[in-house]
Amino acid sequence: MSPLVLLLSLLVLSVAGFLIGRQKALDLARREGGASRLHSLPAYYGALTALWCCLPAFFMFLIWLGFEQSIVTGLMVADLPEEARALPPARLNVLINDIRSLASGNIVSGEVTPLMRDAAAQYISLKGIGRMITSVIVLVAAVAGILAVYRGIKPRLRARNHVEKVIMGLLVVCSTIAIFTTVGIVLSILYEAVRFFQQIPVAEFLFGLEWSPQMAIREDQVGSSGAFGAVPVFAGTILISAIAMLVAAPIGLMSAVFLSEYADRRLRMVAKPLLEVLAGIPTVVYGFFAALVVAPLIRNSGVQLGIDVSSESALAAGLVMGVMIIPFVSSLSDDVINAVPQTLRDGAYSVGATRSETIRHVLIPAALPGIVGGLLLAVSRAIGETMIVVMAAGLSANLTANPLQAVTTVTVQIVTLLVGDQEFDSPKTLAAFALGLVLFVGTLFLNIIALTVVRKYRERYE
Amino acid sequence: MNKSAGKSVARSSSGRGRTIDIVNKGLKSRYRKEKRFRFYGLLSIVASVVFLAFLLSSIVLKGYSAFLQTYIKLDVSFEAGMLDKQNPGRSDFQGIVKAAIRDYYPDVTGRQDKRDLFSLFSSGAAFQLREEVLNKLPEEGSSISLWVLADDDVDMLMKGHMKRDVPEGERRLNDKQLRWIERLEEEGRIALRFNTTFFTAGDSREPELAGIWGAVKGSFYTMLVTLVLSFPIGIAAAVYLEEFAPKNLATDFIEVNINNLAAVPSIVFGLLGLAVFLNFFGMPRSTPLVGGIVLMLMTLPTIIIASRAALKAVPPSIREAALGVGSSKLQVVTGHVLPLALPGMLTGTIIGMAQALGETAPLLMIGMVAFIVDVPGGFTDPAAVMPVQIYLWADSPERAFVERTSAAIMVLLAFLISMNAVAVVMRRRFERRW
User: What domains appear along chain B, each with residue ranges and CATH number?
Assistant: 3-64 (no CATH), 65-200 (no CATH), 213-430 (1.10.3720.10)
**What is the amino acid identity at position B270?**
G
- Please compute, for residue B9, the number of CA atoms within 13 A of its CA located in the half-sphere on the CB side: 8
pLDDT score at B185: 87
Cβ burial, residue B359 (10 Å; 0-12/13-18/19+): buried
User: What domains appear along chain A, each with residue ranges and CATH number?
Assistant: 3-171 (no CATH), 227-461 (1.10.3720.10)
Q: Which of B4, B33, B44 is closest, CB to CB, to A255?
A: B44
Please determine, for residue B11, whether its predicted confidence score (pLDDT) is greater than 80.
no
- Which of A95-99, A439-443, B70-74 ranks highest by mean pLDDT? A439-443
pLDDT score at A326: 95
Contact check, Cβ <8 Å, A440/B268? yes
Question: B323 touching A, CB under 8 A?
Answer: no
B219-231 average pLDDT score:
95
Q: Which of B36, B45, B418 to probe by mutation at the A interface, max A CB count within 10 Å?
A: B45
Q: Report the gap between the CA of B157 and the closest CA in chain A (Å).
A: 20
Quick one: which of B353, B354, B356, B382 has its CA closest to B368? B382
| Band of pLDDT at residue B43, cut at 50, 70 and 90 | very high
Cβ-contact A322, A443 below 8 angstroms: no
Question: A360 touching B, CB under 8 A?
Answer: yes
pLDDT score at A255: 94
Question: A170 touching B, CB under 8 A?
Answer: yes
pLDDT score at B146: 85
CB proximity under 8 Å: B 183-242 to A: 232-234, 236-237, 239-241
Question: A444 touching B, CB under 8 A?
Answer: yes
Task: Give backbone dihedrals phi and psi of A209, rounded to 5 degrees, phi first.
Answer: -100, 0
pLDDT score at A425: 64
Question: pLDDT, tens digit, for every residue of A112-160?
Answer: 777 778 888 888 888 888 888 889 999 999 999 999 999 988 888 888 9
Contact check, Cβ <8 Å, B361/A283? yes
Q: Can you tell me the distance from the alpha carbon of A283 to that of A278, in angstroms, rounded to the nearest whole number?
A: 10
B365-385 average pLDDT score:
84
**What is the amino acid identity at position A414?**
I
Q: Which of A107, A127, A386 to probe by mutation at the B interface, max B CB count within 10 Å?
A: A386
| Band of pLDDT at residue A98, cut at 50, 70 and 90 | confident
Contact check, Cβ <8 Å, B282/A411? no
Q: How is B108-126 classified by DSSP, letter by letter?
A: --SHHHHHHHHTTB-TTHH
Contact check, Cβ <8 Å, B402/A284? no
| Band of pLDDT at residue B125, cut at 50, 70 and 90 | confident
* Beta strand extents in A11-151 (DSSP E only): none
Q: Which of B30, B37, B212, B278 to probe by mutation at the A interface, max A CB count within 10 Å?
A: B37
Helix then strand then coil, % of chain B, to nearest 5: 70, 5, 25
pLDDT score at A215: 57
Question: pLDDT, tens digit, for every residue of B279-307?
Answer: 887 777 888 999 999 999 999 999 999 99
Question: pLDDT, tens digit, for every residue of A357-409?
Answer: 999 999 999 999 889 999 999 999 999 999 999 999 888 888 888 888 889 99
pLDDT score at A19: 94
Question: B305 touching A, CB under 8 A?
Answer: no
Contact check, Cβ <8 Å, B264/A415? no
pLDDT score at B434: 67
| Band of pLDDT at residue B1, cut at 50, 70 and 90 | very low
Q: Which residues of A fall within a CB distance of 8 Å from B10? A: none
Question: pLDDT, tens digit, for every residue of B146-185?
Answer: 888 988 888 888 888 888 888 887 788 888 888 888 888 8
pLDDT score at A166: 93
For residue B246, what is the nearest residue in chain A, using CA coordinates? A172
CB proximity under 8 Å: A 195-234 to B: none
pLDDT score at B5: 47
Q: Report the gap between the CA of B249 and the closest CA in chain A (Å).
A: 13
Question: A237 touching B, CB under 8 A?
Answer: no
| Band of pLDDT at residue A67, cut at 50, 70 and 90 | confident
pLDDT score at A225: 60
Measure the N-to-C terminal CA separation of chain B; round to a whole number of Å.
38
Q: Which residues of A fall within a CB distance of 8 Å from B45? A: 255, 258-259, 263, 271
Question: pLDDT, tens digit, for every residue of B303-362?
Answer: 999 999 999 999 999 999 999 999 999 999 999 999 999 988 999 999 999 999 999 999
pLDDT score at A424: 60
pLDDT score at A350: 94
* Range with lowest mean pLDDT among A370-384, B109-123, B220-234: B109-123
Cβ-contact B292, B222 below 8 angstroms: yes
Question: pLDDT, tens digit, for every residue of A240-258?
Answer: 999 999 999 999 999 999 9
Question: B45 touching A, CB under 8 A?
Answer: yes
Contact check, Cβ <8 Å, A419/B369? yes
pLDDT score at B337: 94
Q: Can you tell me the distance from the alpha carbon of A460 to that of A113, in angstroms, rounded to the nearest whole number?
A: 73
Q: Can you tell me the distance from the alpha carbon of A339 to that of A374, in angstroms, rounded to the nearest whole number?
A: 14
Residue length of chain B: 434
Helix (H, G, I), strand (E, B) or coil at B196: coil
Question: pLDDT, tens digit, for every residue of A321-334?
Answer: 999 999 999 998 98
pLDDT score at B6: 46
Residue with more model confidence, A439 or A83: A439
Mean pLDDT of chain B: 87
Contact check, Cβ <8 Å, A69/B281? yes
Contact check, Cβ <8 Å, B2/A357? yes
Q: Which of B2, B30, B260 is closest, CB to CB, to A447?
A: B260
pLDDT score at A460: 74
Q: Is this complex's ipTM strictly greater than 0.95?
A: no
pLDDT score at A217: 52
Mean pLDDT of chain A: 87
Q: Which of A127, A174, A364, A437 to probe by mutation at the B interface, max B CB count within 10 Å?
A: A174
Contact check, Cβ <8 Å, A188/B272? yes
B212-231 average pLDDT score:
94
Q: Which of B47, B58, B257 is closest, CB to CB, to A182?
A: B257
Contact check, Cβ <8 Å, A281/B358? yes
For residue B300, what is the nearest residue in chain A, using CA coordinates? A178
Residue with more model confidence, A454 or B15: A454
Q: Can you tell me the distance from the alpha carbon of B338 to that of B198, in angstroms, rounded to the nearest whole number?
A: 43
Q: Which residues of B fall within a CB distance of 8 Å from A432? A: 271
Q: DSSP state, B244?
A: I
Please determine, for residue B102, whether its predicted confidence score (pLDDT) is greater than 90.
no
